[in-house]
Structure 1
Amino acid sequence: MTVRIYVRASTKDQDAKRALADLISFSKSYDDSYAEYIEHFSGTKLNRPALTLLLNEAEEGDILLVESVDRLSRLSQDDFAILKQRIKDKGLRLVVADLPTTHTVNDGMTGEILTVINHMLIDLLATMAKLDNDKRRERIKQGLANSGYKPTGKKANLSKHNRIRELGSQNNMTKDEIAKAVGVGVATVYRVLKY
């Protein structure tokens, strides 16, 4: 059995490894064998590189250890159902560090009841994480609108656009060659030359 520790942060500005030492220490109560999966990726996305790698490498009976449910998921209900099924299909046991009912396994009727309760709690916490993320985005959007801020987008680099037009008018270079010469993408060359 391997304890597969998954830590995630949404952006590179955040410290995904923040909880890693505590989770490694926590994992020792299950087994000395552990693997780390660290990524900077949105929890609103189902397909994440490190999570996919974890699921590919996992074996039946392994433990998937996360700090909290929101580190695993801020997914829609449909996507979270897909993720839960993938975890179940691999035979993984989900242990959430800040959800003590997931820490132990009980046999018999108590174990069955606890399993049902854990599934309900995890579903509830995943839904709350998704709602929290949605509300935060909405509040940011409202705050920006109330402040009068209007995103203007990236400003065009006029000197590069003029150079593209100049090279394009000579008709002796391909779009790829112009893009390389000016240091822009081919899409920019097509957009500036409009053909």
Structure 2
Amino acid sequence: MPGWPATLRRPELFKLLDHCHPGDVLLVEQVDRLSRLSVGDWDALKAAIKAKGVRVVALDLPTSHGAMRAAPPPADGEEPDPTEVILKAVNAMLLDMLAVMARKGYTDRRRRQAEDIAKARTQGLYRGRQVDQKRHENILALLDAGRTWGQVQELTGASRSTILRAVKLRAAV
């Protein structure tokens, strides 16, 4: 799948978060590597990260590098360092802004792509994604060998709709 999905269904990310401990750092190259999510999904991901006590550090967000400093937590009754509090607030605000911009860029690209496809269709130039004949042959061979759809999905990584498409194309011939 090209690019990163704009979905909260990110099993590997949540597996990583499950292994995190408070104070761990989640290092990302760019904020948009972490989020092209809708506002609601971004809020849910932020809540999951916050619940684990994980700090997000993005290479393209210089203020987040301050999270790499090992500042001891304040002792009971002691006030936290104001610089740390300010840096944390600024970093959170910038992360939110960059996440919104990543989502905007994602939706803009999708919209422009749809417009270009519609234009190409009206001109008779768009043919859509071509069938991966070799993959379909592999799917059909597995089905012919008695494998279940679930087994075919697991073995090929194909979705159920891809399997159905292969079956329907063979029936049409």
TM-score by length of 2: 0.64
Quick check: which has more Rg, 1 or 2?
A: 1
The answer to whether the 8 A contact 2:6-2:35 is kept is yes
After alignment, is 110-119 or 91-100 more displaced? 110-119
How do 1:1-195 and structure 2 match up within 5 A? 11=2, 42-105=4-67, 108-147=81-120, 148=123, 149-151=125-127, 179-180=143-144, 188=167
- The alignment-based identity, stated in percent, is 38
- Mapped to 1, the partners of 2:90 and 2:5 lie a distance apart of 23
The answer to whether the 8 A contact 1:43-1:71 is kept is no
User: What letter matches 1:73 in structure 2?
Assistant: S
- Mapped to 1, the partners of 2:11 and 2:113 lie a distance apart of 28
Q: Which runs of 5+ in 1 are unaligned?
A: 1-9, 12-40, 158-178
- Mapped to 2, the partners of 1:152 and 1:72 lie a distance apart of 29
Q: Which runs of 5+ in 2 are unaligned?
A: 72-79, 134-142, 150-162
The answer to whether the 8 A contact 2:4-2:33 is kept is no
Kindly tell me the number of residue pairs found equivalent between the two proteins: 135
C-alpha distance after superposition, 1:31-61 (max 9, x if no partner)? xxxxxxxxxx733011213212211111111
RMSD: 3.5
Instruction: Please list every run of at least 4 consecutive aligned residues from structure 1 whose deviation after the TM superposition is greater than 3 angstroms.
Output: 149-155, 181-189
